[in-house]
Amino acid sequence: MNIYNAIKEGSKILKKKNIKFSNLDCEVLLAKVLRKQRKYLILNLDKPLNKKNLEIFKDLINQRSNGKPIAYLTKKKDFWNSEFITEEGVLIPRPDTEVLIEATIELFKNKDYANVLDIGVGTGCIILSILEEKPCFYGIGIDVSSKSISLSKLNAKKLNLENRVKFIKTDVDNFCHGKYDLVVSNPPYINSNKIRYLEKDVKNFEPKLALDGGLDGTFKILKIIEKASTLLKCNGKLILEIGYDQKNKIVSLLKKRGFYINNIIKDYAKNDRCVISTKVK
């Protein structure tokens, strides 16, 4: 079978299972099998695939048809300016989260130094993207998941940032080390009862620990606000990702705990996604 037919057949299988970008997914997976870029496929549609590569491709198509996300199959995901290693058991970085990076860069554009804490690092995508942009910032990333901590360490090494960041496996409740100019977090904020309505790829494959925000979705956010109120320096910033319908609740939680609300930023779909606040008391 040649490249053209492999993509056509693979795409047919994915389409039958209602996979949205069936053709693109096939191309990405075949490019991975052949260790080439996608454009190689387009320029070599007539090239035959050997038996071994065809078998590997079929297996990936089978996994994708069962809903496994592309980023878990290719083990990588682009986020901000870098490619992050991804792994099952750790949340895949989302484009919406890039709003937090943009906000941080704008807020700290005149600051050369800052000590940053990222709560719930996952792949490390937030803190590592900030450190890449700001060469004199230092940081700590914490997560209760040991898989997240090992993956963040790997990503830090890949991006040559290991000297400016430490990763610690701990529950946010038990962490009480240092004082910070900036706390960032994309916490689990999905209402427990709504997880079952998420897309199949997400609910069946991504870790519940990274998604589940308790009965009203704000259980973990509240923990982070409380932790930030003790670990931030006076005038330090807290930059939080929130659910599209959580703005009012989070603003009220923040104000009650002595935070001034600087700004609420929308994501690319125009949903309220990021709250920037300052510890004033």
Residues that bind ligand SAM (CB under 6 A): 91, 93, 97, 120-123, 125-126, 142-145, 148, 171-172, 186-188, 209-210, 220
Q: Which is nearer to ligand SAM, 91 or 274 (CB)?
A: 91
In whole angstroms, give the CA distance from residue 58 to residue 64. 10
Q: Which is nearer to ligand SAM, 269 or 281 (CB)?
A: 269
The minimum distance between CB 34 and ligand SAM, in angstroms, equals 29
Q: Which is nearer to ligand SAM, 9 or 226 (CB)?
A: 226
The minimum distance between CB 171 and ligand SAM, in angstroms, equals 4
Q: 236 in the Ramachandran plot: left (φ > 0), alpha (ψ -120 to 50) or beta?
A: beta
The minimum distance between CB 143 and ligand SAM, in angstroms, equals 5
The minimum distance between CB 163 and ligand SAM, in angstroms, equals 21
SS3 (DSSP) at 267: coil
CB 38 within 8 A of CB 27: yes
In whole angstroms, give the CA distance from residue 127 to residue 118. 6
Q: Residue count of the chain, please give it.
A: 281
The minimum distance between CB 280 and ligand SAM, in angstroms, equals 25
Q: Which is nearer to ligand SAM, 14 or 116 (CB)?
A: 116
Cα→Cα distances 130→102, 125, 188, 269, Å:
9, 9, 20, 23
Q: Which is nearer to ligand SAM, 164 or 227 (CB)?
A: 227
Strand 76-79 to 259-266 pairing: unpaired
